[in-house]
Structure 1
Amino acid sequence: MKTIKRGHVTLKCWDLGGQPRFRSMWERYCRGVNAIVFIVDAADKEAVPVAKEELHLLLSKPAMEGIPLLVLGNKSDLPNHFDTNQLIEALDLKSVTHREVSCYGISAKEETNLDAVLKWLISKAKKGATE
């Protein structure tokens, strides 16, 4: 777990891993959270259909109902990556209802869009604290 503090907000982050052996644990870690962050390798176009299937399976769980979703397409610094619109299409994010959905292209390596992602997460943490 990694903890990030910004002002009065503390973000607790778990990297649950995308390997098949870890997928059964995803739901357990998503219970009671203010947001779900789903990171996809936007440069690995062959892996995106599996990511789509796993994401929709996770979101179909009753305990996940209504939790805001943030999808991040990592490796936007690499050539031939899915841009945000392509990722929305490939993951069928427009079909996700009953929750707020946002999608950003990021580069963890070059720290592209990480400030926008933190602002989004902080807004969800603050909203959750006032509910």
Structure 2
Amino acid sequence: MKPVSEFKIGPLNHVGVAVPDLEAACETYRTLYGATDITTPFDMPEQGVKVCFVNLPNSQIELIEPLSVESPIANFITKNPKGGQHHVCFEVDDIDQAVEEMGKRGATVLGKPRIGAHGTPIVFVHPKNSNGVLIELMETPKEAH
């Protein structure tokens, strides 16, 4: 597929991992992998999840636990009871431009932009467009994250 503009994704921001138990997952990253910089978990009721970030020298891992059975993550956990890699997030300069360009390029954008865990607009691109990988596009935060 030939690009219709100069639009392109930016740096990898994080990898999202769905987990059935956020506290247990945090403990795994601390004890097994030696992670020392893990944010305090916080609820995102508008998305039906509780999240925290494992901060690494070159990226982040977003750990995501469903808040209820209605959460989109709950369905993922039902299919993958131990959890697993849920999405890959790339930064973009302008989320509205990203949505427009994805549409022009034939991608299925899931919903409208909304505020994500970093406090900036996000949107997801259907896995069928990315070799089975759910892609999150996130407007680059104005401040360090």
User: How does the TM-score come out when normalised to structure 2?
Assistant: 0.26
Higher strand fraction: Structure 1 or Structure 2? 2
Higher helix fraction: Structure 1 or Structure 2? 1
User: How does the TM-score come out when normalised to structure 1?
Assistant: 0.28
